[in-house]
Amino acid sequence: MKILVCITHVPDTTSKIQFTADNTKFDSTGVQYIIGPYDDYALARAVELRDEASGKLTVLNVGEADSDPTLRKALAIGADDAIRVNSAPKDSYFVAQQIAHYAKEGEYDLILMGRESIDFNGGMVHGMVGELLGMPSFSPVMKLDVDGSTVKMAREIEGGKEMLEASLPLIAGCQEPIAEWKIPNMRGIMSARTKPLNVVEPISQETQAEASKYELPPAKGAVKLVDKDNVAELVKLLKNEAKVL
C-alpha cells in the first residue's frame, strides 16, 4: 500500500504572534515551527498502517526551504521519503493543486492529512484534493482501519460520530484520537538524515484568494471576582457585560 501524508509547517501553538508591514505580513522573527498537530495524528496513523501492510509512506509539504527541518522530523517519526513543493503555500486552492498534481503521478492508495492547519484553520484542502483527483474525501476522521481495499472509519459529527465504510483509494482529514503522536527516537533522527528529501517545482497556478490584512484578537479584559453568594450581581454581569444571557 502506498500512503501519502500531507503536512503543514506552522508556528508552534505557544508562539507569540505578531505582524509587520502595517499588519499585512506575518512576522516570523523568533517563531518556532512544527508539524501541524492534526497532521501529526495523520502521520502517526500512517506509520502504523504502513507497518501493518509493509507499504511505503511518503510525506509532502508545500513550502519553501525553511520547511525542510519539519520534513526531516516527519522522516524521523517514520516516513520513508519526503517531497517538498518549492513554493510558499499561497492559499488553499493553490496547495490543493500542488498536492493533486503530485498525488496523481504517485498513484497513492491512501492520502492522509490533518482536518485543518492551525494557522489559517481553513479545513478545505482535503476536499479540494478529492475533487481534483476524483476521489472520495472524508473529514474529520477520528478512527481509520484498512482491511484489504476496504476502509472503515469513524467521523465526528455534531452530537456524536458516524461510522463509514469506503474503498481505496480515498482521502481523509484526520484528528484525535485516530492515533497517538509519535516522538522521534535517536535511531529515527539519525536515519532521517539519509532518507530522500526531494524538492520539486510547483505547477503554474494562480491563487484564488489573498489576505489583505491581519488583526490580533482584542486583549483580554481584567478579571472580575463576584462573591459566591451574590447571584444577582453575577447574573447582571453575565447579561450586561459578557452578554451570554
Count the neighbouring beta carbons within 10 Å of the beta carbon of residue 216: 9
**DSSP secondary structure letter of residue 218:** P
User: Domains plus CATH for the chain?
Assistant: 2-219 (3.40.50.620)
pTM for the structure as a whole:
0.85
What is the predicted pLDDT for the residue at 141? 96
Q: What is the reported pLDDT for 120? A: 83
* Cis omega (within 30 of 0) for bond into 140: yes
- Which helix (H) or strand (E) segment holds residue 133: the answer is helix 125-133
Average pLDDT over residues 58-83: 96
pLDDT over 80 (residue 206): no
Residues 37-67 have pLDDT tens digits of: 999 999 999 999 999 999 999 999 999 999 9
Q: Which three cell numbers stand for residue 86?
A: 518549492
Per DSSP, the three-state class of 56 is: strand
Residue 179 has pLDDT above 90, yes or no: yes
Residues 124-134: tens digit of each pLDDT:
999 999 999 99
- Which are the contacts of 16, defined by CB distance < 8 A and separation ≥ 6? 30, 31
Q: For strands 137-147 and 170-174, give the pairing.
A: parallel
The answer, yes or no, to whether residue 218 has pLDDT greater than 80, is yes
Residue 125 · residue 118 · CB < 8 Å: no
Model pLDDT, residue 76: 96
Whose cell is 484526520? That residue is: 174
Task: Give, in degrees to the nearest 5, the angle at Cα 38 between 33 and 43.
Answer: 90
Supply the DSSP string of 104-121, one letter for each residue. HHHT-SEEEEESS-SSS-
- For residue 25, what pLDDT is reported? 84
Backbone angles phi, psi at 103, to 5 degrees: -65, -35
Confidence of residue 164 (pLDDT cuts 50, 70, 90): very high
